[in-house]
Amino acid sequence: MKNTKKLLSLLVVLTTTSLVAQHSGNVNSNDLQITSSGNYNYQNQYQNNQVNTIQTTTGNENEMYISIKGIYNEKATSQRAVFSVLQIGKNAEETTKLMDERLESVVKSITTFNPEIEVIIDMISFVPLYDYEIQKKIFNPKTYNEKPSGFELKKNLIIKFKKTNDLNTIMNICAKQEIYDLAKVDYVTSNLDHIRDVLQVKAAEEYKQMLTNYSAIMNTDLFKKEKSLTEGYNTVYPMESYRSYSAYSQASINFEPESTVNNVRKNNTQFYDAALAKTHTFVVNADITEPTIQIFYDLTIKIKLKEDQLPKNTIIRNNRYYIITANGDVKPLNL
């Protein structure tokens, strides 16, 4: 009975450990350190992880800086899949005929599936292929002569669609014509101007709220202080946010010096890894599951806390101060 209880306890610990690792994801499995709670937290004072915060405001007695960062997650208004198509034939007529038959079948099937999908055929190259023919002569070494052996035709199939799930059907249609090479998928949005306006408005709201809070804390009206600003945008498309990893666990063993080790080829895969919101002040459309176009906005405001002691129309020449009057006259300024 005691052995049974021990076995059940061990199974509970192993099961819990497995669930924690799986919830983290396989990409973290190589770096994961598994520890059980046990009696450690009972015997020692519990301490939480210390997390460093990210500064959004810095400054000194003369000036202060407010930094506001935002992300806008945008679903693609359309996507463009580019398939590379290769056809080889014995002569030019046969090559073009076989290529046209394959592409016409794809276009017809896609149009039947969804008439709104746009298909464009892009010509890439059409070149002859060459091989070598061996010419034998008595008492002479072999001679290799180059001769035409066929033709190679390359085209790109550009398919524009709006629904993400349509790509599965498109790939099945292409596969029936032995078109497998999906070169890339472009994500397109026609709302970039609107998105930038939304980011600016949202950042301005955050800025006004922060300035109101800081004015109350510092007991001064920061709205009336002299300011300067810098801002910037950046756009990151989904294909730029995919990461590669290999999911496997390898045995640790000391092999004999004379032994031969044959390793199995490990599977490499990819996953979409969007930028996290942790370093940003706000995120628009945070709860989107599918890969999105991420537009980043950065606004930095410099606030001058101390006013200049000299008038703004003051100039310095040879270490002496001069003031420019309303009439344009230059007069020395006695300090």
Q: What is the DSSP string of 260-313?
A: ---PPPPPEEEEE-PPPGGGSSEEES----S--EEEEEEEEEEEE-SPPSS-TT
Please state which of the ranges 106-115, 170-179, 240-249, 285-294 shows the lowest mean pLDDT. 240-249
Assess whether pLDDT exceeds 70 at residue 18: no
| pLDDT at residue 327, rounded to an integer | 75
This prediction's pTM: 0.70
| pLDDT at residue 135, rounded to an integer | 67
Alpha carbons 328 and 76: distance in angstroms, whole number: 58
| pLDDT at residue 29, rounded to an integer | 61
pLDDT category of residue 256 using cuts at 50, 70 and 90: confident
Assess whether pLDDT exceeds 50 at residue 204: yes
Q: Which sequence spans correspond to the domains of the chain? A: 57-75+191-246+266-304, 78-188, 307-335
Assess whether pLDDT exceeds 50 at residue 95: yes
Nearest to 81 by CA among 119, 123, 110: 119
Q: Cα dist. 236→239, 275, 294, 300 in Å?
A: 8, 9, 5, 21
Contact 155, 122 (CB under 8 A): yes
pLDDT category of residue 8 using cuts at 50, 70 and 90: very low
8-state DSSP, 27: G
Interval 22-65: pLDDT, tens: 456 666 665 555 455 555 555 555 566 677 777 888 888 889 99
Buried/exposed code over 148-162 (b: 16+ C-beta within 10 A; e: otherwise): eeebebbbebbbebe
Higher pLDDT, 20 or 261: 261
| pLDDT at residue 249, rounded to an integer | 67
Alpha carbons 273 and 241: distance in angstroms, whole number: 5
Token pair for 22: 């799986």
- Sign of torsion, CA 263 264 269 275? negative
| pLDDT at residue 17, rounded to an integer | 43
| pLDDT at residue 46, rounded to an integer | 57
Mean pLDDT of the chain: 82
pLDDT category of residue 4 using cuts at 50, 70 and 90: very low
Q: Give the mean model confidence (pLDDT) for residues 296-317.
A: 77
Contact 75, 284 (CB under 8 A): no
**CATH fit for domain 78-188, picks 3.30.465.10, 3.40.50.300, 3.30.70.2970, 1.50.10.10:** 3.30.70.2970
| pLDDT at residue 255, rounded to an integer | 73
- Sign of torsion, CA 168 158 75 70? positive
Alpha carbons 58 and 40: distance in angstroms, whole number: 40
Interval 140-177: pLDDT, tens: 677 767 777 889 999 999 999 999 999 999 999 999 99
